[in-house]
Amino acid sequence: MRIALNARILQAPRTGIGHYVAELVGALAREPDVELSLFHGWGWSSALPKAAMPGYSRLTPLLRQIPGAYQARRWLEQKRFDKGHTQPIDLYHEPSLWPLSFDGPTVITLHDLTHLHYPETQPAARLREIERRLADGVQRAKLILVDSQFIADEAQLHFGLPAERFVVAPLGVASRFHPRAPESIDTVLKAHGVDAGEYFLCVGTLEPRKNLTLALRAHARLPHAIRQRYPLLIVGMAGWQREQFSEELHQALASGHVCLLGYLPDEHVAQLLAGARALIFPSLYEGFGLPVLEAMACGTPVVLARRSAMPEVAGAAGNYIEPDDPDGLRDAMRRLIDDQAHWQACSDAGLQQARMFSWERCAQVTARAYRQAMGG
């Protein structure tokens, strides 16, 4: 099968969907009947880009201010998509929101419906494009891949489509996420002023949907001595409308017990996850929640809200809290400090839960969806 896969998102610094594309492409390469051609927005390649496009983070905010920029870029991409590939394509896979036009069978991946629940997390121009194109793309797709059963159920209801149009392909965990001895991660941890097992970690784009204010409030309610010994580190890029909670964040940063690390290399994130006392993930809405799986694969306990798809990922290994209860989160954090037996049980349960997920399995389900969409 000759598959065209839109990999344009890899021009940007990699967050959830970017990691999905990169890992899926690598795993699909081991499927014997799958031959991938990757479209990068301006051309075609058989290889993944090694890094984000230079200047991407500075270019994107400028595009938001130019009227019609999204439509113009879309028009150019469609032209290059139509003319750039050198061999016939059997199927087109769009892994991120709305697909380009294609005469043959199309498969799309619908990761979530964030734009419906939290439209404020999208720039206005981009939100209009999503609303204009996504419904049409979903209707045109032969099959719709989703990361979780939660999203399958939600999308069936919203778009009015039968269950057989959806294929649940749970995400996997990259090999860099595994338990590590403290001495093997000491250099990275020391660069951020922490020791193994003596900090809490949040991973995610800084935007209101991630509910990071709950983590800030809960951490601030710990005794001063504990906050000093167990700081809260936040890893992630600034998101759309970060200013909605910037005052509280600035106050937390000024305390000296919260550190905003920004966007870090993948290997550094993996090492920080492996060394954390726990991952704090109070997000209000996720189509999957990849950092939860990655933390568990490192043997790191996870504290998370029992919302959306996250219970499918964490299962019985999760320490669940209410997303509006800072005292409950504080108590969960305190127990993971004080009760070593509980910490160890959570670590062991997370490792066992993480073994249920792999990119190989995700690729196998995806390849079967390709065959089904092509009538096989």
Domain of 328: which CATH number? 3.40.50.2000
- 177, part of any domain: no
Domain assignment present for residue 26? The answer is yes
Q: Are residues 41 and 111 in the same domain?
A: yes
For the four alpha carbons of 93, 99, 102 and 105, in that order, the dihedral sign comes to positive
Tell me, yes or no, whether 121 and 239 share the same domain: no
Are 168 and 313 within one domain? no
Q: Token pair for residue 187? A: 């250099």
Residue 99 domain flag: yes
Same domain, 364 and 308: no
Quick check: is 326 in a domain? yes
23, 31 Cβ separation under 8 angstroms:
no
Helix (H, G, I), strand (E, B) or coil at 319: strand
The amino acid present at 259, given as its one-letter code, is: C
**Calpha distance 307→315 (Å, rounded):** 12
- Each residue's pLDDT, cut to its tens digit, for the chain (376 residues) gives 999 999 988 887 777 899 999 999 999 999 999 999 999 888 888 888 766 654 444 445 555 556 667 678 788 888 888 887 777 899 999 998 789 999 999 999 999 998 888 787 667 777 777 877 888 899 999 999 999 999 999 999 999 999 999 999 999 999 999 999 999 999 999 999 999 999 999 998 888 889 999 999 999 999 999 999 999 999 987 765 555 556 777 787 888 899 999 989 999 999 999 999 999 999 999 999 999 999 999 999 999 999 999 999 999 999 999 999 999 999 999 999 999 999 999 999 999 999 999 999 999 999 999 999 999 6
Of 248, 294, 293, give the one whose Cα is nearest residue 270.
Answer: 294
44 within a domain of the structure (yes/no): yes
Q: 289, 294, 293, 285: which is closest to 266 by C-alpha?
A: 294
Tokens of 122: 């999208």
Question: Are residues 128 and 60 both part of a single domain?
Answer: yes
pLDDT of residue 118: 78
Q: Which structural domain, as residue segments, surrounds residue 104?
A: 2-172+358-373
pLDDT score recorded for residue 66 = 63
Position 205 in a domain: yes
Looking at the structure, do residues 99 and 222 belong to the same domain, yes or no?
no
Distance CA 374, CA 376 (A): 6
The answer on 363 and 343 residing in a single domain is no
What's the chain's Rg over C-alpha atoms? 21
How buried is 243 (Cβ within 10 angstroms: 0-12 exposed, 13-18 middle, 19+ buried)? Answer: exposed
Q: What is the pLDDT of residue 55?
A: 47
- Let me know whether 127 and 221 are in one domain: no
Cβ burial, residue 250 (10 Å; 0-12/13-18/19+): exposed
**Number of domains present in the structure of the chain:** 2
Q: Is 143 helix (H, G, I), strand (E, B) or coil?
A: strand
- Angle, in degrees to the nearest 10, between helices 69-84 and 124-140: 40
Examine the domain organization and report whether 165 and 192 are in the same domain. no
| Shared domain check, 150 and 289 | no
Q: Which of 108, 172, 116 is nearest to 140 (CA)?
A: 108
Q: Which pair of structure tokens corresponds to residue 123?
A: 């720039």
Same domain, 195 and 69: no
> Do 110 and 224 fall into the same domain?
no
